Structures are given as C-alpha cells and as structure tokens.
C-alpha cells in the first residue's frame, strides 16, 4: 500500500437506495478519492449524501481496484448486520452496465486486502470557513470545477497536516515541512507536488493576502516524459475494430481534431462548422476557445450519426440526455484497443498525442500544430519533435559505417 493512502479511509456500508441493495462509500472530501469512486462505477446520492454502487461481487472488486494505493478500504460496515442483510448471491440484482452501448463493464481488478483504518480527519470550523472562502474566490475567478477540486484538496491536506494551527498561523517553514512530507513520506509525483504548490500559493496570495509567505517556497524540478504515440497503422486498426457508429465517431473526432477528453464531452451540435471543415472548441484548458480541424472522413461519419441518433444539445449525449460520461469514452477506447490487438500502452489522450505527432511527420508547421492543440507556449508543442520517428529514420548510427 502506498504511504500516501495511510491518511485516507473509505468505509463501506450497506445502503438501500431506490428499493435496491447497494454499497455506500464514505470518505472525506478529496478530489483523487472522488475520481477513484467514479472509476469504480459509483454515483452520488443527494438523498443519502454519499457515493454508492450496486451490492454485487464485481462492484466490490472494482472498488478495491480503484482505491488500491489511494486509501484503505474498510469492509467492517458490510460485515455488520445493521438491519439490512447482505443479499444472497442468487438474489443479487444484475450489475448495471456502464453508459456505453454494447454492455461495457468496468474492468475487474483483484481486490486489495481490507485493513482497519483510522477515523477520517475532520476540519475545524475555522479551517472549513477558510476553504469556503477560497472556493468563492476560485469561482469568481472562473476556475474550472476540476481545478477547484484539486486546489481545495491540496489546501485541505495542508490544514489537516497542522490540525492545531489556525490557517493564518501556518508559516513558510510549516509549508516547506508539508512539502517535504509529500515528497518523502507520501512520495507523490512531481506534478501532484507542483499542484500543491500552486494551490497553497493561491490561498496565501489571494485569500490571506500575504505574498511573502509563499514567495520562496520550493517547486519540484520539472519532469520531462515523452508522450506515448500510436503509429498510423495502429490508429487504423483501432478505428476499424469499432462497429458502433457513435463510438467510432467519438474516437475519430478525438484523433482527427486533437481533442482532450473534456473537450469532446463539452462539444455541442452548434460547434460543428461542416461547411468550413472546422470544429469550434469552447472553454478548453485555461477557459480558451479555439478552432481545430474537422476531417472529411469524420464529417461523413458524423452526418450519418446525427441522422441516426438526433442529439438535441450535446454532440454526444448519455442515456439521460446530458453530456456523455468521460468514463464511458475510456471504456470505449480500451475495448477498441484490446479488440484491435494494439500492444502500445495508450489512453484516450494518446489519440491527441498521435494527432500532433502525425501532423508533424507530414510536414505541418509547429506553429499551426500549437494553435490546433491550444497550447499557450510553443515549448509545450515541441515535445512532439522528440517522438517523431520520420526524421530519426533518416539518421544512420555510426556503428553502421564501421567495417566489422
């Protein structure tokens, strides 16, 4: 178990929701744990104020798999007979399918070992008020909901690390000690540590108004990791393996336009400029709009899709009429990758990397690729020059010139 999971607990309990036996997931407010719950197929209940899944063996496996390395999973609540007996295996209702046509299920994962956990830390009233003030500031500044979750989670962890201190009494040396704890005890990644720095700086700069406290706190050294890229042949195999029209349009659009997953989910019908062969991305990363490509082949499939599915507002809609689920898109991609036999490690975002790399290899100017991807800096786009194989293929190794 990762050290960073020691401080966090997920407690499972029996729950009856809409006359169905379910499993309730109780844990402190944390963006990473919320993402893990969604990965396990859990939904939020406004009535019970908790996340829940159907009570079935495959869902318990999914819960353990999703939270492994992130938090302890405590099953003591499920073992207790609190008036709601666990359903017999023969009476277990069928597990609901993900919002993916064709019955895609969440991948089964071997369960982690459940261990007793400490009670989840509770914020003081002063700490809770400080976080609420920070949230209001972030909302006024029009930060995205995801950024707000990440920032609040990081600052909350700082407060919990110093439970006896008023937020305004946490000094620079305390912040540095917390950073050291994240780096050496929890061993978080450089990106997670950098997010924590950004969040803490925002709180003390914009909420407390004390710039000196965070001016000189250390940032982690930048990691330089090369993106994973599929070959053109692998992209062809991937797309050909998808029979469902809607699913094929989703993957084609991500690759052909270089979209982020969140950008695909947010697309509306009015964002298609068919006559100009363009796609308008509204409110992308950094809340920026941009125009990208709408390929002819993608357009032909989209016209067929629009005639068959008739979406009302969002280009890709879920069963409830709202935007399509990000998790469902991930399931579609991994099913297609498995069916196509693509061995290269890849995620949905790999299609965006592949779009940029393939454009570069075909001679497209880096400045145009930067604009299509919505990058603020050309240095971000330049990473694709390091994964392009076209130029490397023309270079001879000095070993090949030796007479051995």
Active site residues: 260, 285, 349, 352, 375, 384
Alpha-carbon span 64 to 139, nearest angstrom: 33
* Helix or strand run (H / E) with residue 147: helix 145-161
Task: Find the angle CA(6)-CA(7)-CA(13) to the nearest 5 degrees.
Answer: 90
Q: How, if at all, do strands 9-17 and 72-74 pair?
A: parallel
DSSP string, 240-284: HT---HHHHHHHHHHHHHT--HHHHHH-BGGGEEGGGTEEEE-S-
* Helix or strand run (H / E) with residue 24: strand 20-26
Per the DSSP assignment, residues forming a β-bridge with 278 are: 273, 293
For residue 362, what are its two tokens? 């075909």
Closest-CA residue to 354 (of 255, 248, 233, 247): 255
What 145-148 contacts at long range (C-beta under 8 Å, 24+ apart), as own/partner pairs, is 146/31, 146/262
Distance of CA 384 to the CA centre of its chain: 22
Alpha-carbon span 16 to 368, nearest angstrom: 54
Alpha-carbon span 400 to 129, nearest angstrom: 68
* Helix or strand run (H / E) with residue 291: strand 290-293
Burial 233-270 (b: 16+ CB within 10 A, else e): ebbebbbebbeeebbbbbbbbbbbbbbbbebbbbbeee
Burial 135-155 (b: 16+ CB within 10 A, else e): bebbeeeebeeebbbbbbbbb
């Amino acid at each position: 178990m990762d050290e960073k999971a020691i401080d966090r607990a997920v407690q499972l309990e029996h729950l009856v929701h809409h006359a169905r036996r379910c499993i309730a997931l109780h844990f402190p407010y944390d963006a990473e744990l919320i993402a893990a719950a969604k990965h396990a197929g859990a939904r939020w209940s406004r009535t019970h104020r908790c996340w829940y899944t159907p009570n079935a063996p495959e869902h318990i496996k999914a819960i353990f798999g999703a939270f492994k390395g992130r938090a302890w999973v405590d099953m003591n609540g499920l073992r207790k007979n609190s008036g709601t007996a666990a359903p017999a295996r023969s009476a277990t209702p069928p597990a609901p399918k993900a919002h993916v046509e064709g019955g895609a299920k969440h991948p089964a994962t071997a369960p982690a070992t459940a261990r007793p956990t400490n009670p989840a830390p509770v914020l003081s009233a002063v700490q809770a008020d400080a976080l609420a003030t920070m949230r209001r500031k972030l909302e006024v500044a029009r930060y995205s909901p995801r950024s707000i979750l990440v920032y609040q989670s990081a600052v909350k962890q700082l407060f919990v690390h110093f439970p006896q201190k008023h937020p305004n009494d946490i000094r620079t040396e305390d912040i540095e000690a917390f950073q050291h704890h994240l780096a050496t005890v929890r061993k978080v990644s450089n990106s997670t540590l950098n997010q924590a720095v950004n969040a803490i700086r925002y709180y003390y700069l914009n909420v407390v108004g004390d710039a000196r406290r965070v001016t000189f706190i250390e940032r982690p050294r930048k990691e330089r990791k090369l993106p994973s890229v599929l070959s053109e042949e692998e992209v062809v195999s991937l797309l050909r393996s998808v029979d469902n029209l809607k699913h094929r349009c989703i993957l084609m659009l991500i690759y052909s336009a270089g979209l982020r997953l969140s950008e695909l989910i947010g697309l509306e019908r009015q964002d298609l400029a068919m006559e100009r062969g363009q796609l308008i991305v509204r409110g992308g990363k950094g809340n920026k709009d941009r125009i990208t490509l709408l390929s002819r082949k993608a357009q032909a499939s989209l016209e067929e899709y629009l005639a068959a599915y008739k979406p009302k507002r969002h280009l890709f809609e879920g069963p409830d009429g709202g935007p399509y689920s990000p998790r469902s898109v991930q399931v579609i991609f991994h099913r297609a990758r498995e069916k196509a036999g693509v061995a290269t490690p890849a995620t949905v975002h790999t299609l965006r990397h592949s779009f940029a790399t393939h454009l570069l290899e075909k001679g497209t100017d880096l400045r145009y690729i930067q604009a299509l991807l919505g990058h603020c800096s050309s240095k971000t786009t330049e990473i694709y020059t390091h994964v392009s194989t076209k130029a490397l293929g023309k270079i001879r190794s000095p070993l090949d010139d030796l007479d051995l």
